[in-house]
Chain A
Amino acid sequence: MAQFTSLTSRIIPLPINDIDTDQIIPARFLKAISKDGMGNNLFADWRYNTDGSPKKDFVLNKDDYKGAQILLAGDNFGCGSSREHAPWALTGYGFRAVISTSFADIFRNNALKNGLLPIIVDAETHRDLFDLADESPRAEIGVDLASQTLTLPNGKKVSFPIDGFAKTCLLEGVDELGYLMKFADKIADYESQHS
C-alpha cells in the first residue's frame, strides 16, 4: 500500500462545495480496465475545452499552481459515487493530499487506500488557506502525518484528525488485505457457525 509520511508543497485552491466524483472524473472515463492514465482525465469537464485544449481560467491550468501536490477544496469533497477512479485520478495527476472541512465516506476510504491523505480542517483554517493560496500561490505548507499537523508559511501549526488505524497503515505502508488475511481462521470459524 502507498505510504504517506510528510509533504511540503504549494496548494491548489478549488473553492467549490460538494465536489462530486462525477466532476473529479466523469463516468465516460470509467470504461478502462486498469488504473493507468486516470490523471489526464482529472476534472476533465472543468479542465478542458470541447476540442481538448486546456481551459485557461481553470486553476489546474494556471502556471502558478502547476506541480502543487495539495488540493484545497470546498466542503463535503468527493460526494457521489463509489468510484475509486476518483483517487486514482487525483494521485495520477500528482496530488498527495486533499484539504477540506469534510469528506464523503466512500471517497475518504478510497483515498486512504491509495496513499492520498484527506485532511479535515476547521472553517477558519479553511478560509485562511484559501486566502493564502489566492494571495501567495507559490507559498508552501507542510503536512506531517506522524504529528498530525499542518505548518503554514507564517509558522502557525494546525492539527488535523485522522483515524488511528488509517494513520498507521499510511505511515507504515500496511497492506490492508494482508491484515485481513491474518483473520483467516476467525473467518472460517464465523462461516462454520453461520452456514
Chain B
Amino acid sequence: MTLPLTLFQKVWNAHVVAQEKDSPAVLYVDLHLVHEVTSPQAFTGLRSRGLKVRRPDKTVATLDHSIPTHDPSLPILDEIAAKQIAQMETNAKDFGLKLYGMDSPHRGIVHVIGPELGLTQPGMTIVCGDSHTSTHGAFGALAFGIGTTEVEHVLATQCLLQKQPKTFEVKIEGELQKGVSAKDIILALLAKIGIGGATGHVFEYRGSAIKNLDMEQRMTICNMSIEGGARAGMIAPDDVTFEYAAGREFAPKGEVWEKALLKWRQIPTDDGATFDKTITLNAGDLVPMITYGTNPGMGMKITDHVPDPNSVKDESQKLALTKALSYMGLKPNQPMIGQPINVVFIGSCTNSRLSDLRLAASVLKDRKVASGVRVLIVPGSQEIKKQAEQEGLDKIFKSAGAEWREAGCSMCIAMNSDEILPGQYCVSTSNRNFEGRQGKGGRTFLASPLTAAAAAVTGKVTDVRTLL
C-alpha cells in the first residue's frame, strides 16, 4: 500500500525536477504570472546575463498595481508609474510575453484574471512576484508569492529553489449564517492564529463549509492565507472547481479536458494522510468580522468590543496592541459598531469578483451612500466590469452615490491616486490593514463586501444582518 498523501504533497512531488542532498528542491513552475511592480529588476537581470525567457508560453503578464482606475483613454499623470507601465510593455515585447495591457478587454488584477481566463488549473504550480498568489490555491494548485530575484530565476529556468514547507489543515464544518461569507471565515481564522501563526506552512482548507462555497468565495479564503504567514493555501478540486474551469479560454478542451479531469480527481488528500498542524472552526458560530488593528490578525466579531491592552499579559503583545490602537485612534473596550467612517473600498484580489459585487449591490440597492462618505467600487478585471454592467450593478452603485471604476488594485495598495487621507477611516474589502497601506496615515477596517456596503449606507461600522 502506498503512503497516504495530502493534496499539497501530491502537487509538490509531481513538480520536483531534482533534489541534491542538503539542498532545496528544484521545483518546476507551470504558470508564471508577472506584473509591472515586481518584475522590472528581474528583466534587467536577464538582460545583463544575456538570457531569454525559457518558456514564454507559461508566462503571462498584466498591469494592475500602479495603473489608474479612471477612464483608460486619459493619460497617466503619474510620470514614475507611467514609466513603470511602459517598462512592462517593453519587457513583454522584448522577451515575447503575452501582456494583457491597458487596451486589453481581459486586463485586470493578476489573481483575478488567471482563474477567469482558465490559466489557473488544478494540480499546477503557480508563482508570481506577489504574496496574494495564494489565491490560485482555491483550484488545488500550489500557488505562492516570490521575490524579484526568484522571478528572474523562473523567467530564466522555469524553476525555483524551494525548501518543502509543512502542512496545516484548516477544517471548517457546518453551515454559515445569513450575512456571513468567506471573508468572515478567513478573518476569523486569522484572529485565532495571528499574523505569524502559519509561517513555514501551507494551509489546506477542508470540511463541509468549504465544500459548500463557490469558487469565488474559495478564492477569497485562499487569497488571505499569506496574512497568517502561510506560504500558500489550497482547496481540493471538486465538481465546483471543474464546472468553473470548463470552457474558459485557456482551459483544456475535448479529449485533453477529459484526461485532465481524470488526473485532477486523483489529487485530493488521501484518507489517512496526516498534517503537521490542525485547527477546526465551526462555521455556524461565525458572525460578520471586522479588524480593529494594524494587521489582519487583529480582527474580532463585529459585535465585540475593542480589546484592552491591560488585559494582555505578554509585554510585547501589550505594546503591539497599544501601538495599534493609538494609530487607529480607537479606545480599549469601545464597541466597533457605530464607529464613524469616511471611505468604503470594495475591490482588490480578495473581493472584487462578480459575486462580491452582487453582494454589495444587494445592500446598496434602493439605498443611498451616507452623506460625507466616499465609496469606491473597483472591479477586479475589465471582464468583471463588463458582466457587472450587463447585470446593471453599475447603475445600482452609481444611483446609490458610489464611484464605479476601471479594473485594478486601486485603494488596496494606494500606488495610484486612489488613496485615503491621513486620519480617515476606511471599511475595506481588501486584505491588509497595515499602517498607511491605503494611503499615508489612513486607517483600515477589513471586512466582507456585505459589511463594507452596510457601512457605506450608514456611515459607520454596522452589523449587516440588521439591513438584510
Contact = CB atoms under 8 A, between A and B. Distances in A.
Contacts of B195: 18, 76, 79
B229 A109 contact: no
Contacts, number: 172
B437 A15 contact: no
A23 B149 contact: no
A59 interface: no
A81 interface: yes
B380 interface: no
A42 to B, nearest CB: 14
B320 A23 contact: no
B17 interface: yes
A37 B36 CA distance: 19
Nearest to B88: A33
A165 B24 contact: yes
A117 B241 CA distance: 42
A33 B87 contact: yes
A31 B150 contact: no
Given A26-B436, A33-B41, A165-B24, A114 B316 contact: no
A35 interface: yes
Interface size class for chain A? 35 or more
Interface in B150-168: 150, 152-153, 156-159, 161, 163, 165
Contacts of B405: none
Interface string A1-27: 000000000000001111010110011
A110 interface: yes
Interface string A102-145: 11111001100110000000000000000000000000000000
Contacts of A106: 131, 145-147, 226
A34 B436 contact: no
A104 B41 contact: no
A76 B196 contact: yes
A187 B323 CA distance: 49
B440 interface: yes
B147 A34 contact: no
Nearest to A109: B147
B316 A27 contact: no
A79 B431 CA distance: 13
Contacts of A26: 436, 440
A176 B415 contact: no
Contacts of A18: 195-196, 295, 297, 320
A105 B320 contact: no
B332 interface: no
B44 A17 contact: no
Contacts of A74: 316, 320
A30 B26 contact: no
B161 A17 contact: no
Contacts of A28: 414-415, 440
29 contacts: A18-B320, A23-B434, A27-B437, A30-B38, A30-B66, A31-B66, A31-B80, A31-B83, A34-B41, A45-B435, A45-B436, A74-B320, A76-B196, A80-B131, A80-B226, A81-B130, A82-B147, A105-B199, A105-B200, A113-B149, A114-B149, A165-B24, A181-B157, A183-B18, A183-B26, A183-B159, A186-B26, A190-B17, A191-B158
Interface of A: 15-18, 20, 22-23, 26-28, 30-35, 45, 74-76, 79-84, 102-106, 109-110, 113-114, 163-165, 176-177, 179-181, 183-184, 186-187, 190-191, 194
- What are the 6 tightest A-B residue pairs by CB atom distance, in nearest-first order? A76-B196, A82-B145, A110-B147, A84-B147, A33-B40, A84-B148
